[in-house]
Amino acid sequence: MTDADTAPITVVWCDFGGVLTPALGNAMHEVSAASGVDWAQLWAAAGVVAHDLGLSGLQPLELGRLSQAEWGARVSAALPAGVASAVDLGLWGDYWYRNRPINTELIAELERVSAAGVAVGMLTNSVLEWEPHRAVMLAGVDVFTAHVRSHEIDLAKPDPRIFAYADGLLSPGRGRALLIDDLAANCTAAYAHGWIGLHHVDTDETIARLRALI
């Protein structure tokens, strides 16, 4: 075991969607239910839009390459013939965040971590038009001393450059940084950068692991 393996955790970065909110499957259901379009068809259409830009998934939004209105129009146009959304997909975020509670238990744990002297930041693949929804959900929460939002810097997880950017905001110094994220690929990328990756699946488990580490 090296000194780096035993160095204290001095920075905790937390994802938003799927960590401070329920699993992304809930959001997918809300969009599909509102639009009346099967999620697989919506995701395939989003994939077409992303592919046209040399990207994948929601990257056109997460990297700020398209406004949500333009992206939604392109997704609508990419749906199969005879399939149409019952709502304006340019308002995707309104449905993505509908009925999504905030994870108050994990926020309370992050506040404990912060009180113990560990810096806490948010590191998230985000979308400009979704920020108002997040602001409402996080009203009164002031535990995050730094924010890294993908759409603001044209970098998104798991790109290793986003972790280097985050280090420039909250340096772990002689300690270690930790990422809490619901996607295993992002945790793997964080680990490759030299961080600890804590794959969030269950809130109680995540809290227990944080307490064991800090």
CA dihedral 2, 7, 9, 13 (to 10 degrees): -40
Residue 4 pLDDT class (50, 70, 90 cuts):
low
Neighbours of 203 (CB within 10 A): 16
Is 110:180 a contact under the CB 8 Å cutoff?
no
Q: What is the DSSP string of 101-170?
A: ---HHHHHHHHHHHHTT-EEEEEE---GGGHHHHHHHTTT----SEEEEHHHHT--TT-HHHHHHHHHHS
pLDDT tens digits along 93-148: 999 999 999 999 999 999 999 999 999 999 999 999 999 999 999 999 999 999 99
Instruction: Name the residue among 170, 134, 156, 123 with its Cα closest to residue 50.
Output: 156
pLDDT tens digits along 71-96: 999 999 999 999 999 999 999 999 99
Go through the domains of the chain in sequence order and give each one's CATH number.
3-21+101-213 (3.40.50.1000), 25-96 (no CATH)
Q: Which residues have CB under 8 Å from 213's CB, separation 6+?
A: 9, 178, 196, 198
pTM of the predicted model over 0.85: yes
At 41, which amino acid appears? Q
